[in-house]
Amino acid sequence: MSKPVFTLTPLACAAALFAAGAAHAQETAATEQTMQTVVVTASADASAQGLTKAYSGGQVARGGRIGLLGNVDMMDTPFNGTAYTQQLLQDQQTHSVADVLQNDAGVRVTRGFGNYQEMYMIRGFAANSDDLAYNGLYGILPRQYVATELLERVEVFRGASAFLNGAAPGGGGIGGSINLLPKRAGNDPLTSFTAGFESGGQKYAAADIGRRFGPDNRAGIRVNAVRRDGDTVIDREQRELSLASVGFDWNGGNYRLSADAGYQDHKLTAARPSVNVKAGVAVPAAPDSDSNYAQPWTHSNERDTFGTLRGELDLAKDTVAWAAFGARSGRESNTLGTPTVISADGAATTYRFDNERKDTVRTGEIGVRTKLRTGAVGHSISASATGFHSDSRNAYATSLSGALATNIYTPVDAPAPAATVVIGGRLDAPLTTTKAILSSYAIADTLSFADDTVLATVGLRHQRIKTFNYNYDTGIQNAAYDKSRNTPVAAIVFKPLRELSLYANYIEALQQGKVASGTGVLNQGAMFPPTVSRQREIGAKYDAGKVGITAALFSTAVPQAYVVNQVYGLNGESRNRGVELNVFGQPLRGLRLLGGVTFLDAKQRRTAGGTFDGNDALGVPDTQLNLNADWDVPGVAGLALNGRVTYTSKQYLDGANLQQVPSWTRTDAGVRYITRLGEHSVTLRARIDNVFDRSYWASAGGASGAGYLVQGAPRTFALSGTLDF
């Protein structure tokens, strides 16, 4: 099978044009560089632009990476997003990306279909963890769970993103995308050790060490190691995490290099599963918050090794070229047992589903960006080419479907049945079942007028998607497609006041064709063609210096896939319209606010026979509200209190809207105290999530358009201490 092809001709032409136009500037810059002392400023993306600065209060940044456009200040971008900083990640004792996104009113967290993969509903559309970008590259990080100890920032882009980043390999990028930034050594030495525990018996230890060295501190290294182990607050559930990562960067003045390598081993034993509900059965009340209806023999193990290499070169003044490459090798081994509720009293059936998966991913990007002027018009021109190649090997086996009887209120532990009824491939030696080869090239120009008070962006990405599907047992190719499409963008920013930006955009999402999968799906492995969704958005942003406010009005239409009578297929269209309001910053000295509200109108359209036309889309609430406050207690140096309230309105589990999932509200609270132990800083943190121990269904769907319930976590107490040397 051919390897990913990078289509470079348009990019090479653009680079030649930029370099020729700025040759004399390059010559002058080279002379000047020999006379200057290099001042190194560490940056998580190791770029000349550097990270956007933190906003007042330090919980979010002023902007973030906007695909091939690079890092852009929030007032200059015609899109809406939030970049959460490491300060927020540490203060809230987050474990995973899902924990961070609990702060975002535009996002709700669910799981994959029948497994424990984290999945994020952005503007009502699923974005799974396959589609997390690591410093701009897809598919590099572990696909089920990403520990936040790896990360400097979590950047959430709200809206379709195929033009900016290329088509997401996992089929996301419709309602938004998530980019994760690695840690880098700062200018000051760092040696930090953290230990902690959670209610239930989960223990935690982590080390974070960073140093700069060499001439002018040009070189930096950052090492992180994490270990979590023990029971959780959910009855009989166990979690285990081992993580190690190292990040290296070198600033050569007119060039910059960075590299990251990581290893993560994540294991779950008897983890509480999601819950299916039989058609026609009312949604049952959520069981006690700490109850566990998992079978004791279920488990989920994931092990990944990954790495990236990135370089950036200043070709001339205001002209920079970059290249990046990444790879991952991952293995998953699961024995699952998802209950299906068959009556209102909680009675359920389950069965055993085993699967083995091995992933090999290679991905890369090259690009060039320059700034120039034509008369009174300024230009920021970017061009890039991307390539992505994945090989996924899979095998599965099941016991007799529905043969084991249980109850989600009074679980019945059954002996593990033999998984010999339905078998696909060999669990001890899975064959390649899917391959994906994605390549693209893109060019964009942001034009500035009227002293930069008007910014207009236009661009085009040509995307090619090649996907192959193979028989589980023989490895013989079953189906394939090779499709290409141009994906445009058009957007404008108008700044009538220094503090105010108004914007509008049209942008599309392009999804790789879905492959039918999941427990109980009869047409396993069936492939579907790529789909296109179209977004229109207008919005406003206000920057008062200490407080920022954003508002957006959007509409996105996308072909929708559902499981109907255990058959997966494209069964209509979902149109999500909504309003987003967000606030962040430090309105008063010592008081930090972060929150927002999202109103969604997600309707089904063009369903088979018009049966469900006008009904709400599965698992999409009408209202999502988050409010987080962090307050320095006056008169007690180093003491701060924080709290968060999260509200989600009702959702529907089925396309007919007969199975309603109740609304829920959750309250979280925390405290931290910073003091000194001799010459060392000590930070003590305590947190209680779900303070009132509410029992609730947190989500009602996500992957494959199938309705399923994921129960919210019980009241959880966490305590940690960090010692900085």
| Residue-wise pLDDT tens digits, 429-443 | 999 999 999 999 999
pLDDT of residue 89: 96
Looking at this protein, which amino acid is placed at residue 603?
A: K
Domain map (residue ranges) of the chain:
60-724
Do 457 and 69 form a contact (C-beta atoms < 8 A)? yes
Given a cut of 80, is residue 502 above it in pLDDT? Answer: yes
Structure confidence by residue, pLDDT tens digits, 415-432: 999 999 999 999 999 999
Q: What is the mean pLDDT of residues 74-78?
A: 97
Average the pLDDT over each of 272-286, 581-595, 704-718 and give the range with the smallest value.
704-718
Torsional class of 408: left (φ above 0), alpha (ψ -120 to 50), beta (otherwise): alpha
Place of tokens 């140093």: 211
Give the residue from 360, 183, 154 showing the smallest Cα distance to 258.
Answer: 183
Tell me, what DSSP letter sits at residue 515?
B
Structure confidence by residue, pLDDT tens digits, 483-496: 899 999 999 999 99
Given a cut of 80, is residue 33 above it in pLDDT? Answer: no
Does residue 414 or residue 47 have the better pLDDT?
A: 414
Under the banding of pLDDT at 50, 70 and 90, the label for residue 16 is: very low
Does residue 532 or residue 357 have the better pLDDT?
A: 357
Do 613 and 606 form a contact (C-beta atoms < 8 A)? yes
Give the residue from 683, 666, 644, 680 showing the smallest Cα distance to 87.
Answer: 683
Place of tokens 């307050």: 631
CATH of domain 60-724: 2.40.170.20
Do 281 and 15 form a contact (C-beta atoms < 8 A)? no
Q: In b/e form, how buried is each residue of 21-42, taking b as 16+ CB within 10 angstroms?
A: ebeeebeebeeeeeeeeeebeb
Q: Which two tokens stand for residue 513?
A: 């064709």
Q: 393 - beta bridge partners?
A: 358, 432
Q: In angstroms, rounded to a whole number, what is the distance separating the alpha carbons of residues 307 and 326?
A: 6
pLDDT of residue 479: 83
H or E segment to which residue 87 belongs: helix 86-91
What number of CA atoms fall less than 13 Å from residue 674's CA on the CB side?
A: 11
Given a cut of 70, is residue 44 above it in pLDDT? Answer: no
Q: What is the CA radius of gyration of the chain?
A: 25
Structure confidence by residue, pLDDT tens digits, 87-109: 999 999 999 999 999 999 999 99
> Cβ neighbours of residue 615 under 8 Å, at least 6 residues apart?
603, 604, 607, 652, 655, 656, 657
Q: In angstroms, rounded to a whole number, what is the distance separating the alpha carbons of residues 53 and 357?
A: 40
Q: In angstroms, rounded to a whole number, what is the distance separating the alpha carbons of residues 111 and 700?
A: 10
Do 576 and 606 form a contact (C-beta atoms < 8 A)? no
Q: What is the mean pLDDT of residues 706-725?
A: 95
> Cβ neighbours of residue 67 under 8 Å, at least 6 residues apart?
136, 161, 163, 164, 165
Give the residue from 328, 433, 472, 443 showing the smallest Cα distance to 389.
Answer: 328
Q: Which two tokens stand for residue 422?
A: 């339905």
> Cβ neighbours of residue 310 under 8 Å, at least 6 residues apart?
45, 46, 135, 257, 258, 259, 322, 323, 324, 325
The packing angle between helices 23-35 and 9-21, to 10°, is: 70
Q: Which two tokens stand for residue 454?
A: 């008007």
Q: What is the mean pLDDT of residues 533-551?
A: 96
Do 26 and 315 form a contact (C-beta atoms < 8 A)? yes
Residue 605's Cα: distance from chain center in Å?
27
Looking at this protein, which amino acid is placed at residue 119?
A: M
Given a cut of 50, is residue 179 above it in pLDDT? Answer: yes
> Cβ neighbours of residue 450 under 8 Å, at least 6 residues apart?
none
Given a cut of 60, is residue 19 above it in pLDDT? Answer: no
Given a cut of 80, is residue 111 above it in pLDDT? Answer: yes
Q: Which two tokens stand for residue 124?
A: 């009502």
Q: Which two tokens stand for residue 681?
A: 């800083």
Looking at this protein, which amino acid is placed at residue 62?
A: R
Q: What's the distance, Cα to Cα, between the start and end of the chain in Å?
A: 52
Q: In angstroms, rounded to a whole number, what is the distance separating the alpha carbons of residues 62 and 50?
A: 12
Does residue 10 or residue 452 have the better pLDDT?
A: 452
Q: Which two tokens stand for residue 213?
A: 């060295």
Place of tokens 């957007």: 491
Give the Å distances, CA to CA, from 328 to 166, 211, 233, 306. 19, 26, 32, 4
Q: Which two tokens stand for residue 166?
A: 């290329």
Q: Where are the beta strands (DSSP E) in 159-236?
A: 176-182, 190-198, 202-213, 219-231
Do 672 and 685 form a contact (C-beta atoms < 8 A)? yes
Neighbours of 437 (CB within 10 A): 21
Does residue 648 or residue 530 have the better pLDDT?
A: 648
Q: 25 - beta bridge partners?
A: none
pLDDT of residue 30: 38
Give the Å distances, CA to CA, from 330 to 134, 302, 356, 661, 723. 16, 7, 11, 35, 33
Give the residue from 710, 576, 703, 679 showing the smallest Cα distance to 129.
Answer: 703
Does residue 8 or residue 627 have the better pLDDT?
A: 627
Average the pLDDT over each of 170-184, 255-269, 385-399, 626-640 and give the range with the smallest value.
170-184
101: helix, strand or coil: helix
pLDDT of residue 309: 97
Structure confidence by residue, pLDDT tens digits, 204-262: 999 999 999 999 999 999 999 999 999 999 999 999 999 999 999 999 999 999 999 99
Structure confidence by residue, pLDDT tens digits, 657-671: 999 999 999 999 999
Do 432 and 426 form a contact (C-beta atoms < 8 A)? no
Given a cut of 70, is residue 40 above it in pLDDT? Answer: no
Under the banding of pLDDT at 50, 70 and 90, the label for residue 27 is: very low
H or E segment to which residue 472 belongs: none
Do 510 and 460 form a contact (C-beta atoms < 8 A)? no
Structure confidence by residue, pLDDT tens digits, 564-619: 777 877 777 889 999 999 999 999 999 999 999 999 999 988 887 788 899 999 99
Q: For residue 679, with 0-12 CB atoms within 10 Å meaning exposed, 13-18 middle and 19 or more buried, which class applies?
A: exposed
310: helix, strand or coil: strand
